[in-house]
Amino acid sequence: MTEKYFSFRNLQFSYAIHGEGPALVLLHGYTESKEIWYSFAEKLADRYTVVMPDLPGHGKSDLETPLSTELMAEIVDDLVKQLGIMEFTMIGHSMGGYVTVCYAELFGHKLNGFGLFHSNARADKTEVKENRFRIIDVIAADHGSFVKNFIPDLFFDINRIRLAAEIEKLKLRASAISKEALIEAQKAMADRQGSIELLAETHLPVLFIIGKHDSRIDFNQVYAQTILPKRSFVLLLENCGHMGYLEAPEDTLAAIEGFLLACNRK
């Protein structure tokens, strides 16, 4: 796995790139980093060029403020331009999915398909926004305790013991993210506008990966969105929470592989 840096507005942003072939950009979620995709990239590298950036303030990337999903989309677009990528598929996990639909709104002509991996295209409801600002207060008061409690809750309870080692790795990476970056990302998610109309209007194929026991994303709300695109690819996971790339790696990778075949069919 090759790790590199690129510049945007005099700041440094980290990314990894692996493989050869049609391009796939994978975006991580809140409290995560590009490393969550490494096992998938290894398996996809013989057919695809997999690009995995660290979003602002996460992993090894600098934080640009004030943060927004639009700014994150612009940073990712600058990366693909610097790499000379003209057309690609984008899939985002959680917060990365919010950036993905924002990217599709702003730069959709560069995409041949996009995917929401435990994410959704709708803006936050009032109660969800209010909860984000409560989370900001918790982070401001005790960053370490927030990370310790937040990460395990992303998993369906039956998977927490089985994946205990992976959960500890996620906690360790998340604890390295600054308090300011975690707060800015929460504000960006709360302020996003949503892109429901995009789903109904796009001619691009859209992938939805949904955990039936996701504590962060309303299953019924996301499932209702799957009927909107003209070409939907849907994976519903029974014993899965918000972390399908760890809770159901074989199924989620297979869904991505099938989706990529559809996106790159000429």
List pLDDT tens digits, range 136-171. Answer: 999 999 999 999 999 999 999 999 999 999 999 999
Domain that holds residue 81: 2-263
d(C-alpha 251, C-alpha 80), whole Å: 28
Nearest C-alpha neighbor of 55 from the set 38, 33, 77, 70: 33
Nearest C-alpha neighbor of 170 from the set 158, 154, 186: 154
At 266, the pLDDT band (50, 70, 90 cuts) reads: low
d(C-alpha 61, C-alpha 27), whole Å: 13
Total-model pTM: 0.98
Question: Quick count: other Cβ atoms within 10 Å of Cβ 264?
Answer: 18
At 1, the pLDDT band (50, 70, 90 cuts) reads: confident
Number of domains in the chain: 1
Torsion angles phi and psi, residue 31, rounded to 5: 70, 5
Residue 134: which CATH number? 3.40.50.1820
Q: According to the model, what pLDDT value does residue 3 have? A: 93
Does the pLDDT of residue 8 top 90, yes or no?
yes
Burial profile 2-27: b = 16 or more Cβ within 10 angstroms, e = fewer: eeeebebeeeebbbbbbbeebbbbbb
Q: According to the model, what pLDDT value does residue 202 have? A: 97
